[in-house]
Amino acid sequence: MKTPTLSKTWQIARRLLYQNRWIYLLLMLWPFGMAAILLVPAAKPETEDVLSILHQECLYGLGLVAFTGGALLGNEQRSRRIASVLSRAVSRREYFFALVSAAWLPLALYVVSFVISGIALFAAIDRPPTLVLILALAQLVLGLWTAAAALFFATWLPMMLASTASLALLALLGFLGYLWPGFAPARLLFSLSQGDLVEAGRLLQQPAGFLLILLGAVLLFVAGTAIFERRDLRLKSD
């Protein structure tokens, strides 16, 4: 079985990103706007307000991946672009990898803005930027898992149901983190929705959650690819 070629997948992912470039640009500016809301009225905002904003932005970032990943395959098939792409010596595995990349890369750009604005907020409340960096890393890792999950569901569910299913899976993982603190991947997601600095510091020292989330992303990718390679995409014109 042919392995994904990075040059091909990047060309496909770049085209998908370009189609929604203005939306992604606005999303990159969103953390700066939220930081300005806190910093302009008061040079020293409340710590609780800063943490609340950061955790909300983390969840928005994961929601972005879930909705983007759930919609990509359906949009490509509905517009019939998928037929022209697969006719250019691109395997379905390469195409699926490109879709996952196109769902995750906007989050990576969003996280850059999140880190810069978050560090500015933490400087205003005299806190080290450790939590911001932990939350950024957690977003990137969980975002990769979410992208793989959204595309996995999109291979056999309608577009909106795929996004909803991936969000529901995230919610379930976060709820397990609340009920079962010892389960590292779930605890990692739960940390995104609460401002426990001590807990966030412990997560940095225990990479098991990150590794298990990455393993889960790989398994979802493999399962999604297996379904996608066997799925009838109805590429012919009606």
Cα–Cα distance measured from residue 198 to residue 174, given in angstroms and rounded to the nearest whole number:
18
Domain ranges of the chain: 6-230
Residue 146: pLDDT band (50, 70, 90) is very high
* pLDDT at res. 169: 86
Express each pLDDT in 113-144 by its tens digit.
Answer: 999 999 999 999 888 888 888 889 888 988 99
Confidence of residue 204 (pLDDT cuts 50, 70, 90): low
What are 13-27's pLDDT values in tens digits? 898 898 888 888 888
Specify the pLDDT at position 42.
Answer: 65
- Say what the pLDDT of residue 238 is: 40
In tens, the pLDDT along 69-101 reads 988 988 888 877 787 777 777 888 999 999 999
Residue among 126, 122, 134, 123 nearest 51 (CA): 122
Residue 237 has a pLDDT of 42
pLDDT of residue 20: 85
Helix 21-39 vs helix 92-124: angle between axes, to the nearest 10 degrees?
20
